[in-house]
Amino acid sequence: MEKDGGLLMDLVAKYKDQDQQQEPQTIEDVEDEISVDELEDDEEDNPTPERVGRRLSRSSVRSERSASEVGVDAQLMTDEDRSVGDVAWQVYKTWIMAFGGISAGILVIIVFIATQCVNLLSTWWLSFWSEHSQSKDDDESADQQSQMFYVYVYMALNVAYAVALYIRAITTYKGGLRASRSLFQNLLARILRAPTSFFDTTPTGRIVNRLSKDVYTVDESIPATWSMLLNTFISVLVTLATISYVTPIFMVILLPVLVGYYISQRYFIKSSRELQRLDSISRSPVFALLTETLDGLPTIRAYRAETQFATKNEELIDRNQRAYFLNFAVNCWLALRLEFA
């Protein structure tokens, strides 16, 4: 008995603590609950239109109280997030694999190197031709047949350079088209297979932004940028190698110049990268407002809210253009310092 009594006392104490932890109710809340319960019992016995209306109004009040308890932080649409810091290597890997894999990338690099070598060989042949012709003039033994030989070789080198440029462009943009098609198909498949909750929490403008500007970047900007990067890098590398071979002392001056370029590039890339990300995420609200305006155009005209929507559109476009203008100014800053370097 003492054991059973002890268990009973522990159980009573436990429920007493839970009652004390609950939020206390005021007298008005208790009276409201009692009156509501009595009215509901009375209305169930004698339902009339007025009592049914009161029941619906009390239900709406309860639903408003329940919604207010959720808090102001509960929102349906999620804010668009952006990456911070350096671009992850996984992003480059994803594009390279969509481009055709490592083998396709190596093939493109070989084509770029071959193109630059043919161009350098053509320039060297022209110099060699000039020196040889000068020596022939000094000996007064130059003939027309030897001159035509140099012309034919120079023409062949230029034709080879043109063919190499064509192959370089085909391989670059063919791979870029393959990467764009693969990434777009994956993006479209994910959107079409997304659950309904995704469209409830993601604005339409954000989806339009991904399917318009970002797709254009993958289609046009990335292949062109990579082509320009490889062409410039290989051209500079071959030129520096040639100058260093002819004038070895140039390597002593080259080292501090490369260090200065590297510092300027690292200082520039941080600002440019973040501004491009701000430009991307600030474009989504513009598309969202445009979509909402087109869908609700009759309502906007009915309530004469054209000025409000036009003002809102100007504010969003101005916010987007700030990031674009600053990115353009940063590029001008870098170009100016590279000119004086």
Same domain as 240, residue 105: yes
One domain, residues 107 and 214: yes
Confidence of residue 137 (pLDDT cuts 50, 70, 90): low
Domain that holds residue 208: 89-246
Cβ–Cβ < 8 Å for 341, 264: yes
- Cα(first)–Cα(last) distance of the chain, in Å? 96
Lowest mean pLDDT among 52-66, 135-149, 194-208, 226-240: 52-66
CA proximity to 129, closest of 112, 149, 115: 149
Lowest-pLDDT choice from 7-21, 48-62, 272-286: 48-62
- CATH of residue 136's domain is 1.20.1560.10
Residues 119 and 242 reside in one and the same domain: yes
Mean pLDDT of 40-67: 47
Query: Rounded mean pLDDT of 54-78?
Result: 49
Which sign does the torsion angle of CA 326, 329, 330, 331 carry?
positive
173 and 292 share one domain: no
Q: Which of 50-54, 77-81, 103-107, 196-200 has the lowest mean pLDDT?
A: 50-54
Question: With b meaning 16 or more CB within 10 Å and e meaning fewer, what string describes 276-293?
Answer: eebbbbbbbbbbbbbebb
Tell me which of 225, 246, 267 is where a domain ends.
246
Could you report the per-residue pLDDT of 230-255, keeping only the tens digit for each? 988 888 888 888 888 888 888 888 88
Of the candidates 203, 226, 246, which is a domain's last residue?
246
Q: Which of 66-70, 223-227, 301-305 has the lowest mean pLDDT?
A: 66-70
Check whether residue 182 and residue 284 sit in a common domain: no
Same structural domain, 257 and 181: no
Whole-number Å distance between alpha carbons of 172 and 180: 12
**CB-CB contact of 290 with 209 (8 Å):** no
Residue 330, domain member (yes or no): yes
How far is 26 from 5, CA to CA, in rounded Å? 35
Three-state secondary structure call for residue 51:
helix
Asked if residue 193 belongs to a domain, the reply is: yes
Do residue 202 and residue 283 come from a single domain? Answer: no
Same domain, residue pair 186 and 258 = no
241, 97: one domain: yes
Whether residue 269 is contained in a domain is answered as yes
| Residues 298, 237 share a domain | no
Q: Is residue 97 part of a domain?
A: yes
**Does the residue 326 lie in any domain?**
yes
Q: Where are the alpha helices (DSSP H) in the chain?
A: 2-21, 27-45, 49-70, 89-99, 102-139, 144-192, 196-201, 204-216, 222-246, 250-281, 284-295, 297-302, 306-340
- Tell me how many domains the chain contains: 2
Residue 259 inside a domain? The answer is yes
User: What token pair was written down for 135?
Assistant: 């020596």
Cβ atoms 177, 128 nearer than 8 A: no
Task: Report how far apart, in Å, the C-alpha atoms of 12 and of each of 3, 7, 19, 21, 337 are.
Answer: 14, 9, 11, 14, 80
242 shares a domain with 153: yes
Phi, psi of 13 (to 5 degrees): -65, -35
Using alpha carbons, select from 283, 112, 318, 110 the residue that is nearest to residue 208.
283
Q: Is residue 34 part of a domain?
A: no
Alpha-carbon span 311 to 297, nearest angstrom: 15
Domain boundary among 220, 246, 272: 246
Give yes or no: residues 233 and 282 share one domain: no
Cβ neighbours of residue 34 closer than 8 Å, sequence gap 6 or more? none
- Whether 170 maps to a domain, the answer reads yes
Does 180 have pLDDT greater than 70?
yes
